[in-house]
């Protein structure tokens, strides 16, 4: 055993579990790639100010959970706690909004970091797949992203998730609601930290999960009663488009989400089989974020889906992913000449696009066949000196247990035909 262990709140992804994570990432990104979203990758760390200004200093993410540090050169950096601010920063830096038609549609996948109390479904290092549509104010974009996330989850076989939907208003109507909510909150018995948060961003108090706080919030003014006509019309169009696509959702007037940059549409994907960590993903519209980080006005919308929690949701529903075996053919060589010849055939199989592996380490037949079984290979190719003298190898169907000789020169074509 190594002297070192993974840091608290983190994990290593190793086979065979890691295959599930790859399958989930592929399933989530598939609908995006088919809908005009291009892949983007950003650094694992950014200027602290990007998140302080974009995500919001009143959020737990920035005030309590962000890994911030000073470099040897004196720069103040932070490990990225979320993806949207980084993606928008990269798009602005590369002037993607000036290079073609808007919106700029991007998707990403990577690791993110928050200093949280570790528990199942909540880690200090976690994985997400996200999507952003930058530079257009259109309810069809909001609906598109919700529909694509729903499609991704259903393609994985998930059924017991729910979509929660709300509108947070815009710069015209939200200040009026903010003032009304702050007036209500000032009359409550709240701790000093919550009072401070209420003065910076009172909507964040609505997202407080503590029972004693939620009890006091009964009777709080509702944002829906303060939405301007434009926000009401926008939200109704989003709802209508999602409904027309056959995607079910629930209106949740208390849905706020944990980041300050959201405006208008906000949504969350929840799975009731995960206990307290029920959110598997979410997102919304962030029309003012570009200006917050020094860019031009670029109304945008996006989401991020948690890979870790999606895997937990699959396990909660008992969904087994149909993941093909990593190896289709496993070669077992008996003798030095057979070893040389079969290694060459394994190379040929791989070049033909057939997943193939080889018995390394000079094991005997029994040990090598155990390796073949463990690999999950559909076929084993076995050859010794006598087989080679006859110009054949033995091709064994590992499922049926049947074995038959195949001409060495025909091996690749025979395997391809049988796999087809």
Annotated binding site for L-histidine: 82-84, 114, 128, 132, 257, 261-262
Q: Per-residue b/e over 90-129, b at no fewer than 16 CB within 10 Å?
A: bbbeeebbeeeebbbbbbbbbebbbebeeeebbbbbbbbb
d(CA 416, CA 391): 19
CB 308 within 8 A of CB 126: yes
d(CA 297, CA 288): 7
What dihedral angle (degrees, nearest 10) is formed by the CA atoms of 95, 148, 284, 159? -150
Secondary structure (3-state) at 389: helix
d(CA 409, CA 33): 40
CA 228 to chain centre: 34
Strands 104-113, 76-79: pairing kind: unpaired
d(CA 346, CA 312): 37
d(CA 198, CA 179): 10
Task: Quote the Cα angle for 31-143-22, to 5°.
Answer: 25
The conformation of residue 222, written as its DSSP 8-state character, comes to P
């Amino acid at each position: 055993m190594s002297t070192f262990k993974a840091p608290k709140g983190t994990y290593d992804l190793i086979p065979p579990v890691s295959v599930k994570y790859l399958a989930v990432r592929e399933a989530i990104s598939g609908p995006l790639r088919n809908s005009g979203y291009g892949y983007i990758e950003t650094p694992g760390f950014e200027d602290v100010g990007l998140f302080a200004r974009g995500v919001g200093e009143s959020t737990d993410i920035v005030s309590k959970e962000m890994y911030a540090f000073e470099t040897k050169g004196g720069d103040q950096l932070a490990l990225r706690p979320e993806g949207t601010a980084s993606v928008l920063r990269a798009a602005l830096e590369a002037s993607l909004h000036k290079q073609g038609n808007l919106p700029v549609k991007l998707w990403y996948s990577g690791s993110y970091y928050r200093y949280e109390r570790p528990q199942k479904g909540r880690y200090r290092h976690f994985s997400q797949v996200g999507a952003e549509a930058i530079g257009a104010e259109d309810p069809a974009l909001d609906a598109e992203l919700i529909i694509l996330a729903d499609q991704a989850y259903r393609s994985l076989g998930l059924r017991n998730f729910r979509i929660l939907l709300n509108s947070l208003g815009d710069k015209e109507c939200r200040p009026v609601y903010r003032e009304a909510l702050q007036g209500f909150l000032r009359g409550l018995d709240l701790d000093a930290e919550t009072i401070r948060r209420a003065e910076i961003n009172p909507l964040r108090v609505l997202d407080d999960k503590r029972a004693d706080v939620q009890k006091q919030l009964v009777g709080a003014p509702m944002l829906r009663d303060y939405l301007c006509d434009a926000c009401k019309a926008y939200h109704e169009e989003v709802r209508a488009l999602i409904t027309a696509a056959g995607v079910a959702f629930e209106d949740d007037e208390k849905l706020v989400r944990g980041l300050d940059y959201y405006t208008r549409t906000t949504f969350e994907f929840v799975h009731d089989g995960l206990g307290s960590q029920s959110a598997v993903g979410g997102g919304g519209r962030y029309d003012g974020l570009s200006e917050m980080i020094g860019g031009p006005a670029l109304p945008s919308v996006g989401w991020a889906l948690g890979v870790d929690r999606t895997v937990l949701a699959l396990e909660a529903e008992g969904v087994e992913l149909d993941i093909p075996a990593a190896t289709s053919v496993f070669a077992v060589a008996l003798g030095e000449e057979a070893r040389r010849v079969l290694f060459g055939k394994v190379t040929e199989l791989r070049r033909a696009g057939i997943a193939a592996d080889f018995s390394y380490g000079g094991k005997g037949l029994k040990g090598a066949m155990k390796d073949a079984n463990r690999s999950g290979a559909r076929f084993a190719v076995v050859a010794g000196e006598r087989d080679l003298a006859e110009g054949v190898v033995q091709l064994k169907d590992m499922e049926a247990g049947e074995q038959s000789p195949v001409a060495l020169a025909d091996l690749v074509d025979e395997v391809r035909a049988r796999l087809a």
